[in-house]
């Protein structure tokens, strides 16, 4: 089994795990009335939908001869969607920064997120390198989505840790949260723009 087929096959349990994580954070957001955690859960859930879409279009590229489902065009569509995702994500982060929302949620969320982030982050870095070597746009798209999920879950973890260690109302905590959000925004922006550039080079002229 080649790396592309293996990646697609392993995406199914990955999606199930992501749904479970989204359910945990979603329940925590409702329980604590945290608009911040609820919003991050929504963004995380969108990445799950994006992953299903990439798998669907990747399957169509195999069975369909339509140019709209070519590997390069699928990668372009994904990169555009990722860019739109990032712009909305960035707008939400600016909204939270300007409105001084307290990002508090149950303590168990911190531990669940920490375990999840450590596992996903390690795999994401390793898998992204392997995806680049495979040169499959479907594989690269799936790995980029995994990286975005890692970034969003890491942002949840950073905010939880800062809320526990620092004073949630302090300017320092607020600015550190915003700096982490800006870093997350830039990482996703780079992934989306690089995808657009790569897909443009690969498309026939």
Q: Model-level pTM?
A: 0.81
Range of the domain at 122: 3-202
* 30: enclosing H helix or E strand: helix 3-32
Give whichever of 23-32, 60-69, 184-193 has the largest mean pLDDT. 184-193
Q: Domain total for the chain?
A: 1
Structure tokens at 164: 């526990």
Terminal-residue alpha carbon distance, the chain: 33
- Band of pLDDT at residue 104, cut at 50, 70 and 90: low
From residue 135, give the alpha-carbon distance in Å to each of 54, 73, 107, 144, 145: 16, 15, 41, 13, 16
pLDDT bin (cut points 50, 70, 90) of residue 194 is very high
Residue of 116, 120, 123, 92 lying closest to 28 (CA atoms): 116
Residue-averaged pLDDT of the chain: 80
* pLDDT above 90 (res 91): yes
What integer pLDDT is reported at residue 178 of this predicted model? 87
């Amino acid at each position: 089994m080649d790396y592309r087929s293996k990646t697609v096959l392993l995406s199914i349990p990955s999606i199930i795990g992501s749904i479970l994580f989204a359910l945990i954070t979603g329940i925590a957001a409702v329980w604590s009335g945290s608009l911040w955690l609820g919003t991050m859960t929504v963004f995380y859930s969108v990445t799950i939908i994006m992953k299903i879409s990439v798998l669907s279009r990747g399957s169509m590229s195999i069975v369909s001869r339509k140019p709209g489902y070519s590997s390069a065009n699928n990668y372009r569509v994904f990169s555009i969607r990722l860019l739109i995702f990032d712009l909305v994500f960035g707008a939400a982060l600016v909204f939270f920064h300007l409105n001084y929302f307290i990002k508090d949620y149950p303590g168990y969320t911190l531990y669940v997120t920490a375990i999840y982030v450590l596992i996903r982050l390690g795999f994401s870095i390793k898998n992204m390198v392997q995806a680049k070597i495979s040169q499959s746009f479907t594989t690269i798209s799936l790995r980029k989505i995994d990286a975005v999920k890692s970034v969003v879950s890491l942002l949840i973890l950073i905010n939880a840790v800062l809320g526990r260690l620092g004073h949630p109302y302090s300017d320092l905590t607020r600015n550190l949260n915003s700096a982490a959000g800006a870093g997350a925004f830039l990482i996703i922006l780079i992934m989306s723009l690089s995808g657009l550039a790569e897909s443009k080079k690969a498309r026939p002229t």
